Amino acid sequence: MKFIHIADMHFDSPFVNLSEKELLGDKRRLEQRKIFKKIIEYIKQEKIDNLFISGDLYEHKYIKQSTIEYINNLFKEIPETQIYIAPGNHDPYLKNSYYSKYKWNENVKIFQGKIEKIETQEADIYGYGFNDFYCTNSGIEEIKIENKNKPQILIIHGTLNGANIEEKQYNSITTKQLEEIGFDYVALGHIHKPDYLNNKIVYPGSTSALGFDEPGEHGMIVGNIEKTEGEEQAKIELKFVPLDEEKFIKKEINVTEINSKEELIEKINEIEIKNNEYIEIILIGKRNFEINKYEIIKYIENERIIKIKNKTKIAYDLKKLENETTLKGLFVKEILNKYEQNNLTEEEQEIIEKAIEIAFEALE
């Protein structure tokens, strides 16, 4: 039985934190459509029997009906392929969701908030869908495998071996549970990085990168699973097929030896960038001038540089300055006292350092 396993497409994601430049979100949403169409074309060419979608196909809060219609029209192009969708925490099966109120094509099966088994000639397929934005127990421990003579497959969205409280809110499942139940293949979603466990318990990762915290290749799992009567283990063949042509790359620039905004802009504009790369510039080192990343981004020539992160530290020796009997010294001493008295977050420290920088420029 041939199948494709995808997850975490996040159609109509707003991409609000992706870029300091306008229209980048629109561009990535168009690229999402292009990637999904590639999947459908692959299914046609390779005559894939089943498409497993393990949650977060779309963003419930932002999805447009036109996007749902686009997805469903593509499903209509592969009528011989059975499509199984297990809704996740970003696209739960709610009463007002498109999973519930929209008429999907006949080859689409959407699982709801109760474990369900679909018996086919080739395999038994179990599925569970979130019916809220959180899930603390899907009930998979109640599953009993009845027919071990054909592949047993689970399609579900969740956290594998979740340890902390946050992870456990998103349907934490243990490896031990899955192995004891006896699934031959577990099609997981939720983690955006590909991850395989014995080729049986699999995260395909996000189908397309959602930002700079998702480096590396993104795509789909193409698999074939067979089980002969009497055999304990199914034969599984898996391969990862990249789909997203764009790469999200971080590049560091040390500003310690840079003395002006103009010099920094020139340095950034000299960076070599490939045509399929989106770049986030990370500024590090000791800064000798005030850095306004929103101002600098306006003068960047290469449209592929879409974000700047300022992780520099102020160049002044504050400990030395606080011992001076000058206005600057008194100001620094007062500020450093606030540092010691409060448990400041990194963001708060940055604000204080920026205040020192602006104050010093005013005192020149």
- What does DSSP assign to residue 224? E
pLDDT digits (tens, 9 = 90+) for 229-239: 878 889 999 99
Radius of gyration, CA atoms only, the chain: 26
Q: How many domains does the chain have?
A: 2
* 109 and 186 together in one domain: yes
CATH code at 192? Answer: 3.60.21.10
* 6 and 113 together in one domain: yes
* 260 and 168 together in one domain: no
Q: Which domain holds residue 305?
A: 247-363
User: What tokens does 327 get?
Assistant: 């206005």
Looking only at the bridges linking them, the beta strands covering 235-242 and 108-110 are unpaired
Nearest 5°: phi and psi at 308?
A: -130, 130
* 92 and 232 together in one domain: yes
pLDDT digits (tens, 9 = 90+) for 249-304: 999 999 999 999 999 999 999 999 999 999 999 999 998 888 999 999 999 999 99
User: Which of 210, 242, 274 is the C-terminal boundary of a domain?
Assistant: 242
pLDDT digits (tens, 9 = 90+) for 44-77: 999 999 999 999 999 999 999 999 999 999 999 9
* pLDDT of res. 151: 96
User: Which of 242, 260, 294 is the C-terminal boundary of a domain?
Assistant: 242
* pLDDT of res. 364: 59
List the chain residues with pLDDT less than 70: 339, 341-342, 361, 363-364
* 276 and 334 together in one domain: yes
* pLDDT of res. 271: 96
In the chain, DSSP assigns E strands to 2-6, 50-53, 82-85, 108-110, 116-119, 124-127, 152-157, 159-160, 172-173, 185-189, 195-197, 201-203, 219-226, 235-242, 247-254, 277-284, 286-287, 305-310, 313-314
Task: Let me know: does 116 contact 126? Beta carbons within 8 Å.
Answer: yes
User: Which of 242, 266, 294 is the C-terminal boundary of a domain?
Assistant: 242
* 266 and 194 together in one domain: no
Dist. CA 356–CA 314, nearest whole Å: 9
* This model's pTM is above 0.85: yes
Q: Is 163 helix (H, G, I), strand (E, B) or coil?
A: coil
